[in-house]
Amino acid sequence: MVYYWITSITFFLTLLFFPLHTQQSSSEDTPPNILLILTDDQGYHDVSYYGTADLQTPYIDQIAAEGMRFDNFYANCPVCSPTRAALLTGRYQDYVGVPGVIRTHTDNSWGYLDPTATLLPEQLKMAGYHTAIIGKWHLGLESPNTPVERGFDYFHGWLGDMMDDYWTHRRHDINYMRLNGKEIDPEGHATDLFTQWSVDYIKSQADDNRPFFLYLAYNAPHFPVQPPQEWLDKVRQREKDIDETRAQLVAFIEHMDDGIGKVIRALKESGQYDNTIIIFSSDNGGHLPSKANNGPLRDGKQSMYEGGLKVPTAISWPGKITRGSISESSHLSMDLYPTLLELAGLEPKDSIEGRSFLPELLNGTQTSSERPIYFSRREGGIRYGGQSIYAVRLGNWKLLQNSPYKAYELYHLKEDPQEQHNLREEEPEKYEELNKLLMLHIQKGGQVRWQKPER
């Protein structure tokens, strides 16, 4: 009986404060819808807006053309889970228990999302947002770290890390496809499924008076690289001399870009495009064995060199962000958290390290104060031995350690953007300055549990 009355009261309050299926308010009365698109392992120059000759991404290009392109945007980490943790908490990943990749098997899992951290959807709900994640979660496989327990009203996608096959949707023979908390087994290419589910969600929100936050996290173009055959045929026909491995990746990305176009079209057809801010970014640099294009940058995914960290990023919002504008400022994935909160009229509930760049988005005003920015990644196996690698950037200077068994390296990125000339011996004072900053960061991260406590 008590449960019945609690349920009834909860349902009544929901209807009172969040009425369903009413006409959406005008943009003057409500904050904008938020569409956050995160791709997986997309290289810095694997977008055609940089002039990449063998690849066509018209819909990603459209976001950049209709808004602001970010040429110095960094993922928080050169691998998946840590960047996603930073993006959704506004904090450095090692400060919320995710220094490395969360995996199925505990003996090779290197993170446990802090259950007390406040995630972006939890905050946005305070401003009346309906919150949804479609696609890849990768921040926990069980309670309390599932999407619907961490602030998302709706989850339709993939709970785990990579897929072993984009058609059968399994990892280690486990099905991680979910609709909220229910296991599902849909048919079709994962990219197409996530696209269609997003289209359906956007259309369903057209008659809701609440703004929505849709976090669309594609697994693509993470390996295994499996484009539909018709997309691969199209690339082979167009690019006569293309390397076969590269052709597979180009087709994979172009197929995903077409899906992004369908999602944007759904916004326009449902009348929600003009009041929707669209963010496009990647979780880390491109995977070089898959022939990703990281432009002139050194190295790729997993690396603390620029090719592992710098990612293609663009943000549009009709009438609010200057079309075709370009930002040279250095921002991180975690900076999206306070930026979107400020956009929604909210202050971060927790102390965070992310910094809002909304003034730059809206009027081009860059934040003048220089700050150190840190990168970290913990991993197992023989190559890493359960240790971490790090980098810190301060202005144009960057100190990094790309292997736990090798010495730190120091570079001046303005004079040496390809990180070829190690200045550690030539600039001992700068090395000492950055090393001290990094040691403090490592100490703070060391205070946070990153393994699930035993019951």
Q: Which residues are catalytic?
A: 80, 138
Question: Any idea what the Cα angle at residue 135 is, between residues 84 and 99, rounded to 5°?
Answer: 20
Place of tokens 């400022």: 329
